[in-house]
Structure 1
Amino acid sequence: MSSAAEWRTLIDAVNGLPEGAPAAALATLIRTRGSTFRRAGTRMLVHADGRVVCELSGGCPQRDIVERARAVIRDGRPLQVTYNAESGLDVLMEMGCGGELEVLIEPIERTSAMPWLAPLDACLRERRPATLATWFAHDGVTMAPRRALADGTQVDTPACDALRTALARPRPDRATVVAVPGTDGRDEVLLEPVQPPHALVVIGSNATSRALLRLAGALGWQTTLVDNDPRRLDVSDLPARPATCCAEPARLCETVAFDLQTSVMVVTHSLARDTAYLRALEDVPLAYVGALSSRERAARLLDELEAPEWALHAPAGLDIGANTPEEIALAIVAEILAVQRARAGGPLRVKAGTIHA
């Protein structure tokens, strides 16, 4: 699926399109099987001159998709392309992954895109999870897609029966095509979750926390630096400026917003302050909570906690032999991703089954 950061990039690119005739095409992976470069729900915007926004792979499949997208821009009609043993085999052989995929390509212009992009943009900005439904085929015939977005309480854009029926289903964990039977045939709808950007709150300003903020910013995460000393909150040297908050532990939850898409790293280098900040978060459901520590220090931290809503990851990070602040940050961010996606974090060469499921 497209990440929150990719959605942000796509929305900005679509808003920058000229008004009028289609000047770009949107390519969406609607189905994948086996090993593929990205999974269903991933999107790429293709301009008429071949420039792309949010590359899918950069390889042979992308080149073929771009050429077909340019034809869609010229023709003004949507197209569904399948790459498998029966169609596009030469592309698959060059790709060498052994997977199969189906791509929906549609002409797009700024005015036609805004009815569904505007509420999606609002969900991302307001950190509200949502479900996006894309109706793209009727009785096996590709049609101009229609979309509806639900944020758990209502459908934000006008929806037809096929979209309303699809959105009445439980929210999926990943993008999937559902078949919706109707009175005059069978509709196909791509149903996918839209998650707000992951947020990382780093407590304690030092070399390691700044390395963490740089890496998280590069991933498109929302970042916040917390410290109880305002003199340590100068972030002018960071390329993606995080929010800053001067707060003692007792006021942490009053001044920083937390949710289930938020990770917290405590790196104050003070056992007493680490303990106080962790205690302040005990009743707050979070995606991940970690502390920079030795095993002995981690045991002391755990002894001071009551019954937190989360498991404390301490010492934080995957075992990659990290030594420098940047390497430590990489190990921690990798563990956050593994926890977020329910992965063990081991080497891919020993993993059975699909790699990017």
Structure 2
Amino acid sequence: MADLDRLLARAAEWRDQPLALATVIGTWGSAPRPRGSHMLVAADGRFEGSVSGGCVEGEVLAHAAEVIGGGGFRRLRYGVADAAAWEVGLPCGGEIELIVQPVSDQGFAPALFDRIAAARDAGASLEIATDLVTGNSGEAADAAEREAFVNSYRPPRRMLIVGAVQIAQSLAALARELDFAVTVIDPRARFLTADRFPGVVLDDRWPDEAVAAARPGPATALVTLSHDIKIDDPALIAALTAPTGYIAALGSRKSHAARRARLADLGFDEAALARIEGPAGIAIGAIGPAEIALSIAAGAVRAFSTKAG
């Protein structure tokens, strides 16, 4: 389960007690967590998420306790020039700015967690605006704050893994930790079992049908792993005829050249064929299924990060 999904689950679980929400609203230099990162704090001391990778969490927890106790909205900034930054452990050279809000109608309303979760389930984005004077949050479309922080909650990235082989087992588990919603596709029932692939969606249709039904878009990665052209090629064809964000195919350079030739014979031009990363993943000298899965996951993250940047 991804960081945001875990936080949303805790928000639902802890609703019977007062909560505070800390959010990174600005970063400079070598900041450990990006803008929009959250930490949810409960009155009983439990917390979920991170706003600094551990550097200032203790300080933020103290502010959150005061907010929960009725102390009101807080806006905080930490940097290496501040004595407090060294005291709480932020010597990394960066600066971060945070807000801490009560989870209430006079802050971050509990219903907003439900709206974020519903948007993610629907594959849609949602923007929440926070007035930096009052600390009140609401959907950005309804907000008219003069000074506001707008946090964009994007749907989870998806990964379609074609071929329920051993590498796919490692890749599916790793991709889930990287905030990908994972589907494993393979028409071979003996390979595609819940025991081998716990916690992911399984699709036993032929890959062309399964990929087309998934409607891959810019936030979707498709990876073929079966080494069977009857399974891999139809999936690649379906991915190339859609705006799929990342396409990768396992195999040697020789097998990838043969793959490109087959697809070219079907009418795909050079620009289309260049969309396929083959051999799949980043060259790290990977040996064994887990390391190969790591290189492929890294290739997908690099592709999406490059496009986002």
Query: TM-score scaled by structure 1?
Result: 0.77
Correspondence 1:161 to 2:119: no
Structure-2 residue corresponding to 1:10: 7
Structure-2 residue corresponding to 1:125: 121
Structure-2 residue corresponding to 1:98: 93
Correspondence 1:269 to 2:210: no
* Residues 166-222 of structure 1: CA deviation (Å, up to 9, x unaligned): xxxxxxxxxxxxxxxxxxxxx211123221111111111111111111211233321
Structure-2 residue corresponding to 1:315: 279
Contact 2:2-2:177 within 8 A present in 1 as well: no
Correspondence 1:80 to 2:71: no
> In 2 relative to 1, CA 273–94 (structure 1 residues): closer, same or farther, beyond 3 Å?
closer
Task: Name the % identity.
Answer: 26
Contact 1:245-1:256 within 8 A present in 2 as well: no
SS of the aligned residue for 1:326 comes to helix
Contact 2:163-2:225 within 8 A present in 1 as well: yes
> In 2 relative to 1, CA 249–84 (structure 1 residues): closer, same or farther, beyond 3 Å?
closer
Output the amino acid matched with 2:3: E
**CA displacement at 1:78 relative to structure 2:** 0.6
Aligned counterpart in structure 1 of residue 29 of structure 2, from 29, 34, 46: 34
> In 2 relative to 1, CA 132–303 (structure 1 residues): closer, same or farther, beyond 3 Å?
farther
CA RMSD of aligned residues (A): 2.5
Give distance in 2, aligned partners of 1:296 and 1:12: 46
> In 2 relative to 1, CA 295–15 (structure 1 residues): closer, same or farther, beyond 3 Å?
same
Give distance in 2, aligned partners of 1:91 and 1:23: 30
> In 2 relative to 1, CA 58–40 (structure 1 residues): closer, same or farther, beyond 3 Å?
closer
Give distance in 2, aligned partners of 1:130 and 1:94: 33
SS of the aligned residue for 2:167 comes to helix
Correspondence 1:202 to 2:161: yes
Contact 1:24-1:47 within 8 A present in 2 as well: yes
* Residues 132-172 of structure 1: CA deviation (Å, up to 9, x unaligned): 322222xxxxx2322214xxxxx4xxx2432xxxxxxxxxx
Structure-2 residue corresponding to 1:180: none
SS of the aligned residue for 1:234 comes to coil
**CA displacement at 1:254 relative to structure 2:** 4.6
SS of the aligned residue for 1:13 comes to helix
**CA displacement at 1:55 relative to structure 2:** 2.6
Aligned residues: 301
* Residues 253-302 of structure 1: CA deviation (Å, up to 9, x unaligned): 45434222110111111234322321232211111100001011111112
Counterpart mapping for 1:1-357 below 5 A:
5-19=2-16, 23-57=18-52, 59-84=54-79, 87-91=82-86, 94-109=89-104, 113-137=109-133, 143-149=134-140, 155=141, 159-162=142-145, 187-239=146-198, 241-305=199-263, 306-307=268-269, 308=272, 311-342=275-306
**CA displacement at 1:6 relative to structure 2:** 2.4
**CA displacement at 1:88 relative to structure 2:** 4.8
SS of the aligned residue for 1:342 comes to helix
SS of the aligned residue for 2:89 comes to helix
Give distance in 1, aligned partners of 2:72 and 2:305: 37
Output the amino acid matched with 2:98: V
Runs of 4+ in 1 over 6 A off after TM superposition: none
Output the amino acid matched with 2:124: R
Give distance in 1, aligned partners of 2:82 and 2:221: 43
Give distance in 2, aligned partners of 1:136 and 1:284: 41
**CA displacement at 1:128 relative to structure 2:** 0.9
Give distance in 1, aligned partners of 2:181 and 2:273: 22
Structure-2 residue corresponding to 1:351: none
Give distance in 2, aligned partners of 1:322 and 1:237: 22
Contact 1:50-1:67 within 8 A present in 2 as well: no
Q: Which runs of 5+ in 1 are unaligned?
A: 138-142, 150-154, 163-186, 344-356
Give distance in 1, aligned partners of 2:101 and 2:214: 41
> In 2 relative to 1, CA 8–250 (structure 1 residues): closer, same or farther, beyond 3 Å?
closer
Query: TM-score scaled by structure 2?
Result: 0.88
Give distance in 1, aligned partners of 2:209 and 2:197: 25
Contact 1:289-1:310 within 8 A present in 2 as well: no
Output the amino acid matched with 1:124: R
